[in-house]
Amino acid sequence: MFYNEEFETLPREALRALQIKRLQQVLQRVYHTVGHYKKSLDAARVKPDDIKSLTDLHKLPFITRQDLQNNYPFGLFAVPMSSVVRLHASSGTSGRSTVFGYTKRDVETWSELMARSLVAAGLTKNDIIHNAFGYGLFTGGLGLHFGAEKIGASVIPMSGGNSKRQIMILQDFGPTAICCTPSYALHLAEQGAALGVDMKALKLRVGIFGAEPWNKAMCDEIEKIYGITALDIFGLSEVMGPGIAMECLEGRNGMHIFEDHFLVETINPQTGEVLPEGAEGELVFTTLTKEAFPLVRYRSGDISRLITEPCRCGRSHIKMERVLKRSDDMLIIRGINVFPAQIEAILTGIEGLEPRYQLIVDKSGALDSLELRVEVSEKTFSESGSVKALQKIEKRIVKDMKDYLGVAARVKLVEPNTLQQSQGTAAKVIDNRRI
Ligand code: ADP
Ligand code: ZN
């Protein structure tokens, strides 16, 4: 089943011709409307007209998350704000967050790609979709929501959290599909078990999971506990949101990238060299149709491999393997992207702390847990005297982590110089999760 059969099954030659035509249009547009691209293309001595084939794309400079942050909040928008109908943003303090804009047509395109994803999972207007992706600035919830409405399904805008209520609704409303992070699906199953609910007895038939890495073992476990087919969906807000790539029911070996809207390359993350198709590397995306926030050669930081063998489903678009690794230090905690630098920025804003800290990421049941150990300065340590003063700092860190990054952390203040190990500086991040 297809949502847009013509484009999803477009023969590769025609697809390539469409991509190059759209690429040339995007380049003209960004060169003439976004200062950053004019500067970076001029510095690389390339003009939009020089790009005549898809391999010419390699001549263009990359754009990175740092560039996005440097242009915070709206510096990379290619249309006036009057044409922007939606804003989303990543977590982070001012200047360390990234902001994404959408025109009416962008929302329309995104909804279509989400609709394609849902149809690839076998869903129709007769389905009830329980959407437990977070709503709000995060793209997961609303992205999926619009796609579900587009195919005419009945969508339950659950958002995350409140597990008991989620289980009640799963039982009472009888949704046939569930969408959330894979770890939240496991968490719900744990909560269900505690309440004596048999998840297999629910009406669920399929689950669409993403926003964080999950391996085949986790997929098998979810399928077994719920008695459903568990499919992988991939996306990143910079490029659009969820619905950049989706696993089809028939293939079960990777996610189709909607290539009529995105160009994908894999590069060596160390050297930036473009790798042959099929080699493992960092995914680089170019948006072909986005109006408000087009991106040319965006380094995603996600490591994967492209699969070019034709798929049984009939879609002509290439696939990408599960993303299980990153090329940078980004952590995904309960589906939320967190960079150590963002935590540093929060700690720097609080008086009485040393910049030395340690992050310990672990699993508590199915969900991620985060502990943050921070050294207090000598001065605070000797002068504050009271436990109360230290507790106040602890509370402030917990609150800022929640307010700016959206993550709950246990905070422990430690004495000065205790995090520095004799051999050198302590590892900042200790990730004990197994994936
Ligand atoms: P999303 O709504 O997809 O989480 P974000 O912009 O918050 O959007 O996060 C994007 C990042 O999340 C990706 O760059 C990738 O690292 C991770 N991610 C998203 N989907 C998946 C997936 N299916 N498997 C592994 N990682 C994923
Ligand atoms: Zn397929």
pLDDT tens digit sequence for 194-247: 999 999 999 999 999 999 999 999 999 999 999 999 999 999 999 999 999 999
Measured CA to CA, the distance from residue 261 to residue 22 in angstroms comes to 9
Nearest CA residue ID for atom 9, ligand 1: 236
Report yes or no: 120 and 149 within 8 Å, Cβ to Cβ.
no
- The CB of 236 under 6 Å from ligand 1? The reply is yes
CA of 139, closest atom in ligand 1 = 2
Quote the CA–CA distance of 213 and 20 in Å, as a whole number: 31
- The confidence band for 422, taking pLDDT boundaries of 50, 70 and 90, is very low
Whether the CB of 247 sits within 6 Å of ligand 1: no
Taking the CA of 239 as reference, the closest ligand is 1
Average pLDDT over residues 17-24: 98
Q: Which amino acid is at 410?
A: R
Section 107-124 average pLDDT: 98
pLDDT of residue 159: 98
Shortest-distance ligand to the CA of residue 121: 2
308/256 Cα distance (integer angstroms): 10
How many other CB atoms are found less than 10 A from the CB of residue 90? 25
Report domain 336-431's class: alpha beta
Q: Is the CB of 269 under 6 A from ligand 1?
A: no
Which DSSP category does 319 fall into?
E
Confidence band for 385, pLDDT divided at 50, 70 and 90: low
Interatomic CA distance for residues 14 and 232, integer angstroms: 27
Cα-to-centroid distance, 228 and ligand 1 (Å): 22
Centre of ligand 2 to C-alpha 254, Å, is 8
Beta strands in 305-407 (DSSP E): 306-307, 319-320, 325-326, 331-333, 336-338, 353-364, 367-376
pLDDT in tens, 303-357: 999 999 999 999 999 999 999 999 999 999 999 999 999 999 999 999 889 878 9
Question: Could you give the C-alpha distances from 329 to 29, 46, 325, 338, 430, in angstroms and in order?
Answer: 33, 31, 10, 9, 11
Look at residue 127 in the predicted model and tell me its pLDDT: 99
Q: Which of 384, 427, 404 is nearest to 413 (CA)?
A: 384
pLDDT, one tens digit per residue, over 124-152 is 999 999 999 999 999 999 999 999 999 99
- Whole-structure pTM value: 0.96
Instruction: Fill in the DSSP letter of residue 358.
Output: E
Q: Give dist(CA 308, CA 316) in Å, integer.
A: 9
Most confident segment among 19-28, 335-344, 415-424 = 19-28
Compute φ and ψ for 24, nearest 5 degrees: -60, -40
Share above pLDDT 70 across residues of the chain, in percent, rounded to a whole number: 98
Cis-peptide into 73, omega within 30 deg: yes
186 in helix, strand or coil? helix
Answer left, alpha or beta for residue 254, where phi above 0 means left and psi between -120 and 50 means alpha.
Answer: left
Classify domain 81-328 at the CATH topology level.
Rossmann fold (3.40.50)
Please state, in angstroms and rounded to a whole number, the distance separating the CA atoms of residues 204 and 130.
Answer: 9
Shortest-distance ligand to the CA of residue 310? 2
Is the pLDDT confidence value at 48 over 80?
yes
Q: Does 337 contact ligand 1 (Cβ within 6 A)?
A: yes
Is 100 in contact with 235 (CB distance < 8 Å)?
no
Query: What spacing in Å lies between the alpha carbon of 249 and ligand 2's midpoint?
Result: 7
Please, what is the average pLDDT of the chain? 95
Q: Give 49-107 pLDDT, tens digit per residue.
A: 999 999 999 999 999 999 999 999 999 999 999 999 999 999 988 888 999 999 999 99
Mutate to test the pocket of ligand 1, among 88, 234, 239 (most ligand atoms within 8 A of CB): 234
> What are the boundaries of each domain within the chain?
81-328, 336-431
